[in-house]
Chains A and B, each alone.
Chain A
Amino acid sequence: MRGDRRLFSGLDLSLAAGTYLQVTGPNGSGKTSLLRILCGLLAPAEGEIKWQGESIRSLAEDFFTSVTYLGHRHGVKDELSAIENLRISNALNGIVVTKDRAREVLARMGLAGRESLPARLLSEGQRRRVALGRLLTCNTKLWLLDEVLTSLDKSAVDLIRSLIEEHLASGGIAIVATHQDLAIAAGSSQRLELAT
């Protein structure tokens, strides 16, 4: 529901480990709302979300240890450098990332040499790469990625694909809202199309 408007209903699906789910649909069809419902930011008007057989409402904070959500607002602080952004966002999730490890991650994200620049000096695509760097350190089972491919170049998209493939191979689940087909090779691939 957005405002008093019904976006989707009668949605019933369960995903096994190693599944890639692509959520597509025209603008305004509720892709973002669905992802926000799945991560618990938004309460569904009806129905419930279960994680490993338990409702995420009753799991509360425990659920967040197994989920990483990246929204289309990337959640990178302009005033902090790429390294600080990465370290703090991980620390807040209870994961200690050393400076060396952060450098390593950023290098893999193609940001070598720019680690210490304040994020406001980075381009939109580079900031998104910083945000996506969390996928390498987060160690969570469920990834919810909302329109993360916007403003990323070809090499970055390839990088995301390989990240997701590694994730699926290790038994993770990735739910991605995007218009682009990622052509994921690993795991089992599903598609959910939302209509307006």
Chain B
Amino acid sequence: MLRWIVWRDLTLAWRRRADILSTVFFFIIVVSLFPLGIGPETELLRSIAPGVIWVAALLASMLSLNRLFANDHQDGTLEQLLLTPQPVFMVVLGKVLAHWIVSEIPLVLIAPLVGLQFDIPNDTLWILVLSLLIGTPVLSLIGSVGAALTLGLRGGGVLISILVLPLYIPALIFGAGAVEASIMGTTPAPHLYLLGASAIVSLIFSPWATAAALRISVE
């Protein structure tokens, strides 16, 4: 059943590939703005790079969250999904998994390229990718709660960021912390473990909360 939801959402995303690209371009553009606003000193850029790239990833995944349930809500398929004979959190899990593959994986893949702009050393690029790989599921999972809560509300896009961004803070701290530790030459392992722990906690609680929120919003 999970397989079908993931397959369905991936097919839909593939038929609207422009949306995926716009998220990726948003990510690249936001990151590229910082050197222009701050100045090109390599030393300074390298020290702000972890934070900048991670914040840009938060904002980019924020943008794609609007699409998570809104389209299905509009054409009535969300109601049908809620009426399928399986627990709602399975539906949520499937959709979040698809969202992660479609909207977050491209960011993870493009991140090393963006990292080069900030002169991040090669070893650290791997840590950047790893931190995003562990951290982006947290973004999709927590974000899904916000997307479900703001479903169909006016000004949903801004509202969702107010709700979700504060909840992203631990992921930001641990994720950017790992990259920074690696730049400083210390071990990023504790940060990555904590990031992994956040991922597990959000995997346990978020689908449940999102399912509850969806039921409330669809009423």
A and B touch in the complex (CB under 8 A): yes
A residues contacting B by CB (< 8 A) are 36, 39-43, 61-62, 64-65, 67, 69, 71-80, 84, 88-89, 91-94, 118
Other A-B contacts than A61-B84, A77-B12, A92-B4, 6 sampled, CB-CB below 8 A, are A40-B83, A73-B79, A91-B1, A92-B1, A94-B85, A118-B15
On chain A, the residues within 8 Å of B187 by CB distance are: none
Is B75 an interface residue when CB atoms closer than 8 A count as contact?
yes
Known: A92-B5, A93-B84. A80 touches B12 (CB 8 A): yes
Q: List the A side residues contacting B1 at CB < 8 Å.
A: 91-92, 94
Chain B, 148-172, contact with A by CB distance < 8 Å: what is the 0/1 string?
Answer: 0000000000000000000000000
Which of these, B11, B79, B80, contacts A80 with CB under 8 Å?
B11
**What are the residues of chain B within 8 A of A67 when measuring CB–CB?**
83
User: Is A88's CB under 8 angstroms from B4's CB?
Assistant: yes
Nearest residue (CB) in A for B74 is A73
**C-alpha gap A75/B82 in the complex (Å):** 12
Q: B79 CB to closest chain A CB, in angstroms?
A: 6
Bound-complex Cα distance A74 to B80 (A): 9
List 19 A-B residue pairs with CB atoms under 8 Å apart, sorted by A's residue number. A40-B83, A41-B82, A62-B85, A64-B83, A64-B85, A73-B75, A74-B76, A75-B79, A76-B76, A79-B11, A79-B12, A80-B11, A80-B12, A89-B77, A89-B80, A91-B4, A93-B84, A94-B1, A94-B85
Question: Which of A36, A42, A93 has the most chain B CB atoms inside 10 A of its CB?
Answer: A93
Question: Do A74 and B75 have beta carbons less than 8 Å apart?
Answer: yes
Please report the C-alpha to C-alpha distance between residue A65 and residue B1 in the assembled complex, in whole angstroms.
14
Assuming A61-B86, A62-B85, A77-B75, is B11 touching A41 (CB within 8 A)? no
Determine the distance from Cα of A89 to Cα of B80 in the docked complex, in whole angstroms.
8
Output the nearest chain B residue to A84 by Cβ-Cβ distance.
B11
Give the residue of B16, B77, B87, B218 whose beta carbon is less than 8 angstroms from that of A75: B77
- Assuming A61-B85, A64-B84, is B79 touching A79 (CB within 8 A)? no
- Residues of B near A93 (CB, < 8 A) are 84-85
B residues neighboring A (CB under 8 Å): 1, 4-5, 8, 11-12, 15-16, 74-77, 79-87, 218-219
Are the CB atoms of B79 and A65 closer together than 8 Å?
no
- Residues in chain B near residue A84, CB distance under 8 A: 11
A39-B1 Cα distance, complex, nearest whole Å: 21
With contacts defined as CB atoms under 8 Å apart, how many contacts are there between chain A and chain B in the complex? 72
Chain B's nearest CB lies how many Å from the CB of A44? 11
Centre residue among A39, A42, A43, A75 by max chain B CB count within 10 A = A75
Q: How far is the CB of A126 from chain B (nearest CB, A)?
A: 15
Q: How far is the CA of A192 from the CA of B218 in the complex (A)?
A: 25
Task: Determine the distance from Cα of A67 to Cα of B79 in the docked complex, in whole angstroms.
Answer: 13
CA A78 to CA B16, docked complex, whole Å = 11
Q: How far is the CA of A91 from the CA of B91 in the complex (A)?
A: 13
- With A64-B83, A64-B84, A65-B85 in contact, do A71 and B76 touch (Cβ < 8 Å)? yes
Q: Let me know if A78 and B81 touch, CB within 8 A.
A: no
Q: Once the chains are docked, how many angstroms separate the CA of A84 from the CA of B15?
A: 13
Which residues from chain B contact A41 at a C-beta distance below 8 Å? 79, 82-83, 218-219
Q: Establish whether residues A39 and B11, one from each chain, have CB atoms under 8 Å apart when the complex forms.
A: no
Chain B CB count within 10 A is highest, among A74, A91, A118, for A91
Q: What is the minimal beta-carbon distance from A165 to any residue of chain B, in angstroms?
A: 24
In the complex with contacts A43-B219, A61-B86, A80-B11, A92-B75 CB distance below 8 A = no
How far is it, in angstroms, between the C-alpha of A55 and the C-alpha of B181 when the chains are bound? 56
Residue of B5, B8, B74, B83 near A39 (CB, 8 A) is B83
Considering the complex of A and B, which 5 residue pairs feature the smallest CB-CB distances, nearest first?
A73-B76, A75-B76, A79-B15, A64-B85, A65-B85
- CB–CB B11/A42 < 8 A: no
Alpha-carbon gap, A27 to B86, bound state (A): 33
